Amino acid sequence: MYFRQAPGSHPAQYLGKLQMPRKRLIAANWKMYKNPEQTSAFFRDFLPAIKDHTRDEIVVAPPYIDLHAAVAAAKGSNVSISAQDVYWKEEGAFTGEISPSMLVAAGCTHVIIGHSERRQYFGETDDTVNLKLKAALEAGITPIACVGEVLEEREAGLTEDVLRRQCVRAFNAMSAAKAAKLVIAYEPVWAIGTGKTATPQMASDAHIIIRAEAAKAFGQEFADNLRILYGGSVKPDNAKALMSEPEIDGALVGGASLDPKSFTAIVKY
């Protein structure tokens, strides 16, 4: 629990009014791992381990095929279920796609949008991210929108430009009221699945850029309440240092979320 405040000032003075602390969100992105049986087995071990955990919001994003098993297993627990992608149309001849209302009907409350793997391998663009975000928000689903630079961009000093562009396009033609549930995940692509983690300072610097873009698009109050997660080789042994940064409001965890023990350790950082 913390307040965003200037050093030495009372938060209420600094912000003009009392700012609610942002509840951290720890999310598992399983990517293309586990079948329904393995999903049920995960929850059998995971739920008892985190059943009294209220400090952070916990979300698990399995593949589409496992949503039914995950929703059934997590029913009545402190874990919410997320999809890993969504299409922006309501229904129609779009083979292979899933609509926001289908996710709602399946019991999903969250959806990851614009993950770098979708951008790299499946033609996701800033513009399709924007369409998907609007459709998810319209359906009442909490989108976790991913942004982040690739290694060449970081090395060329373009991180800030890339993050600003991704945010501006993602937030296009969206109102603060509509975007209220939005969550952002900063995932530097060079840190995903590589064992290389951004330092807490690097992540924090990126989050400040993203929050500033959110303030431009939606106003300062929205930006102060916006949760920005860090993703990229989050493990039990680095979670605490990352989560200790006031700018980091949670984690989006890939590989280390597949094992109930290691994901529990991250949740309980």
Q: How far is the CB of 56 from ligand 13P (least distance, A)?
A: 16
Distances from the Cα of 183 to the Cα of 135, 136, 139, 143, 171, angstroms: 15, 12, 15, 6, 12
What is the distance of C-alpha 196 from the center of its chain? 19
CA distance 75 to 55: 19
Is 184 one of the binding residues for ligand 13P (CB under 6 A)?
Answer: no
DSSP conformation class of 259: S
CB-based closest residue to ligand 13P:
254
Select the span of 7-15, 49-57, 97-105, 254-262 touching ligand 13P (CB under 6 A): 254-262
Q: Which of 193, 201, 208, 237 binds ligand 13P (CB under 6 A)?
A: 193
Q: How far is the CB of 186 from ligand 13P (least distance, A)?
A: 11
Binding mask of the shown chain, residues 104 to 123, with x at each position contacting ligand 13P by CB under 6 A:
-----------x--------
3-state secondary structure of 43: helix
Based on CB atoms, which residue is closest to ligand 13P, 129 or 234?
234
Is 124 one of the binding residues for ligand 13P (CB under 6 A)?
Answer: no
Listed in sequence order, the residues at least 6 apart from 29 whose beta carbon sits closer than 8 Å to its beta carbon are 61, 84, 112, 115, 231, 252, 253, 254, 257
Q: Which of 150, 192, 223, 242 binds ligand 13P (CB under 6 A)?
A: 192
Asked if 185 and 147 touch (Cβ cutoff 8 Å), the reply is: yes
110 part of the active site: no
Is 231 one of the binding residues for ligand 13P (CB under 6 A)?
Answer: yes
Contacts of ligand 13P in 19-48 (CB under 6 A): 29
115 part of the active site: yes
Label the pairing between strands 142-147 and 183-186. parallel
Which is catalytic among the residues 187, 207, 213, 247? 187
Based on CB atoms, which residue is closest to ligand 13P, 153 or 187?
187
CA distance 97 to 107: 17
Based on CB atoms, which residue is closest to ligand 13P, 99 or 238?
238
Contacts of ligand 13P in 211-230 (CB under 6 A): none
If we measure between CA atoms, which residue out of 202, 198, 204 comes closest to residue 235?
Answer: 198
**Size of the chain in residues:** 269
Distances from the Cα of 22 to the Cα of 17, 28, 250, angstroms: 15, 19, 10
Q: How many CB atoms lie within 10 A of CB 50?
A: 19
If we measure between CA atoms, which residue out of 21, 73, 18 comes closest to residue 51?
Answer: 73
Q: How far is the CB of 95 from ligand 13P (least distance, A)?
A: 26
Select the span of 88-96, 156-164, 219-227, 231-239 touching ligand 13P (CB under 6 A): 231-239
3-state secondary structure of 115: coil
Which is catalytic among the residues 57, 110, 115, 124? 115
Instruction: Please give the single-letter amino acid code of residue 95.
Output: T
Q: Which of 232, 236, 250, 260 binds ligand 13P (CB under 6 A)?
A: 232
> Which residues contact ligand 13P by CB under 6 A?
29, 115, 187, 192-193, 231-234, 252-256
Which residues are annotated as catalytic? 115, 187
